[in-house]
Amino acid sequence: MTPVHATFGEVAAERRIASVPLSHVSVELGHLYMEDFEAGPARLREQFRRVAPWLATIRSVWRERVPGGRARVSTCFLVDDYFSRFSTPAELVPMILEAAAEHDLTIDYLARESACAQFEDGRSGAVELARLVEDRLVDDPPPDTDGSRPPVKETGWLCNGSRSPLTTPLQAMGKARPWEPPTQNAKRGHSIFVDVELWDERGARRTWSCPFLAAVWQLLRLGLLRAEGRVPLPPVPLEGAWPGDWDRLPAVVRINPQAAPFSAYTTLSVLSPRFLPVELAVRTILSQVAVDDEVLRQVAARSESERVRLEEELVDRVSYVFT
């Protein structure tokens, strides 16, 4: 009987996490929803008129902040094609670009909001970015919690503290529980309690909320999302003319061939004040997203090599101008 010598070794699968090029700041020049389109080109021109001074300011700030003054600043614009489909890329995008150019603004990247929910990947088919972020939500339980509150993945609601407890009808010979106010976990003196609906469902159809998709959008701009280790939604140049259907438009289009990278260490969004409640909800969501540790290490190493100090908390890398 011939002896067989076998060597057994543990083969660890190498976990590959793609890196992404990063600007110093990604500046969002606006959102476009149906009501903005219906208001006509004048609404867009007014938006860009208000935005232009702030973009000049942020460029100046980053030139002073970055060693050597070589700041990488990219601009982007988001179009809602998720909650309502209006117009076509062929009609709408040239109008947006023309209105921006009137105020010496260059839009480097244009994105479709529906891609923040789901997009088609040539390798693996449909990729649900919103589901990826949902899987990374970490509940922020209030002190002395008893586990009676269902988790966010069951309810579709996320909050920053403790909701008012349910009151029950007065029982015979019993006492009704008095009303108690909701409380914020990290309050400063007094609570600012926020409760955000992330989605609703009718039958098998789930509709993601505007704040949740906006949180996905911020994570994309920060370069912190991965789908099976790959960078989702890499910007692509448009081939040919603007299409007549939104589904034929890439999720993120690189309009400016000389643009700095789409994703960035930080983001700044210049928005109308009507978006303030939405962005408060976005920040509440982002404060409870657990980003992949390896992705965070990549970004930290890159920023340190450039001597760019980043805030520890993800939400503190996101800023706004409401004008």
At residue 275's C-alpha, the angle toward residues 272 and 276, to 5°, is 105
Average pLDDT over residues 99-123: 90
Q: How many residues does the chain have?
A: 323
Local structure of 254: helix, strand or coil: strand
Q: 11-35, pLDDT tens digit by residue?
A: 334 568 999 999 999 999 998 888 8
Rounded alpha-carbon distances, angstroms, from residue 87 to 36, 90, 94: 12, 8, 12
12 vs 215, which has greater pLDDT?
Answer: 215
Return the pLDDT at 166: 66
Tell me, what DSSP letter sits at residue 244?
Answer: S
Q: How many C-beta atoms lie closer than 10 Å to residue 315's C-beta?
A: 17
CB burial of 118-154 (b: ≥16 within 10 Å; e: otherwise) equals bbeeeeeeebbbbebbbeebeebebeeeeeebeebee
Return the pLDDT at 264: 98
Which of 225, 213, 303, 218 is closest to 267 using CA atoms?
218
Q: Which tokens hold the place of 144? A: 């002395």
DSSP 92-139: HHHHHHHHHHTTT----EEEEGGGGT-EEETTTEEE-HHHHHHTTB--
237 vs 16, which has greater pLDDT?
Answer: 237
Interatomic CA distance for residues 204 and 13, integer angstroms: 36
Does 250 score more than 70 pLDDT? Answer: yes
Interatomic CA distance for residues 309 and 300, integer angstroms: 9
Which residue is associated with the tokens 């100090």? Answer: 309
Which residue is associated with the tokens 């040539």? Answer: 122
Does 173 score more than 50 pLDDT? Answer: yes
- Backbone angle region of 262, left / alpha / beta, with phi > 0 → left and psi within -120 to 50 → alpha: alpha
Average pLDDT over residues 207-212: 97
Interatomic CA distance for residues 316 and 267, integer angstroms: 10
Q: Which tokens hold the place of 179? A: 């009303």
Residue type, 278: V
Backbone angles phi, psi at 91, to 5 degrees: -90, -40
